[in-house]
Amino acid sequence: MRARFVLIILILLGLAACSPSPEPAPAPPAAPKVVGYFTGWGVYARDFQVKDLDTSGAAGRLTHLLYAFGKVSGGKCTAADRWADYEKPIAAARSVDGVADAAGATPRGNIGQLRKLKQKHPGLKVLWSFGGWTGSAGFTEAARDPAAFARSCRALVEDPRWSGVFDGIDVDWEYPNACGLSCDRSGPDALPRLLGSLRSEFGPGAVVTAAVPGDPTKLAATDYRSAADSADWLSAMTYDYFGAGGDAPARTAPHSPLTAYPGIPRPDATTSATVDKLAELGIPSAKVLLGVGFYGRGWTGVSAAEPGGAASGPAAGRYEKGLEEYEVLVKRCPPTGTVAGTAYAHCGDQWWSYDTPGTIAAKMAYARSKALGGAFAWELSGDTATGDLLTSMATGLTR
């Protein structure tokens, strides 16, 4: 009897050994990233303060906030505006916590307020973004010694005066090995080497990101596939495909179409074409963020309501010709139609194109269908006081 029992146990053990191990449960997909840029200069004429991110509800919807822009000078990261960044004393009425900056407090300014914002919203991560349209020329020198550049960036971003405020760094180089406001000829490996040095210097726990052009021809000028290896994500600037500044003769066209439409001046100047190009380059979809402009681009001297009408030039804007913020346009020149997944408005002799909560919702559905890593906004001061655009972005990514 005892021998039979032992035999049964051995058989069962053998069967267990031969049985295949259960497959491990797949890792849940990462939560979509809801990202927005906050501009340091916005605290001046626009009077858009860090506190507004709290009162509008934006801070509670964002996963990441990018503070724009730091400067690249002499091959190093530097502060672009010390006064706004960390010296300007903030009065109680404009402070996140309602407490004025004490005399001699460090840091003050925007960075001091970002510290208070993170204390109130501990899940929010903040990155310091460097470069931008007018600040990218310095990257050419930085690319000659990426390791020295990375050391300077870490020293600034992790400066003891604001230790713990920033969770990483964003590179907005417009454009590596191509032309933006100035032209760069650093080679297709310049951006990957720069990001690789930043990753090595900041370490695996930091967030390292980069903005990439929406123009497919510029995407071909740099090895963005290798750049993605060192980055947490690449922010595709899927806006400003058309505008009143450079087209001749002037013809109206939506600046951020999702897809092509009959009569579009350039069929590849669309969000979907950019996303397809990034996929063709081999960049994982989860590392691509779709860009949304919280502003419109407009023309004047227009009689046609539909896109493609003749214009005499850019419409007047409060801070720049041919550009105006959504919160202004939706009241002054509300949408009269949609085309290619974005809105347009014909009012008087002006014609504007911009995204609305409805078109953003559709773009977020598209981002989900492509399994993108999320979306980002340029930039948050253009939204309404109640954060209508960002709300649509955040909810649209999680449906």
Report how far residue 125's alpha carbon sits from residue 66's, in angstroms, rounded to the nearest whole number. Answer: 9
Reply yes or no on whether 201 is catalytic.
Answer: no
Catalytic residue among 174, 201, 324, 325: 174
Q: Which residues 6+ apart lie within 8 Å of 264 measured at CB?
A: 253, 257, 270, 340
The H-assigned helical ranges of the chain are: 2-18, 50-55, 58-61, 82, 109-120, 139-142, 146-157, 190-202, 216-219, 224-230, 271-280, 326-332, 357-369, 388-398
Report how far residue 282's alpha carbon sits from residue 269's, in angstroms, rounded to the nearest whole number. Answer: 20
C-alpha distances in angstroms, 86 versus 150, 151, 173, 225?
21, 21, 24, 36
* Residue type, position 9, single letter: I
100 three-state secondary structure: coil
Q: Quick one: how many helices (H) and strands (E) in the chain?
A: 14, 15
Which residues are marked as active site? 174
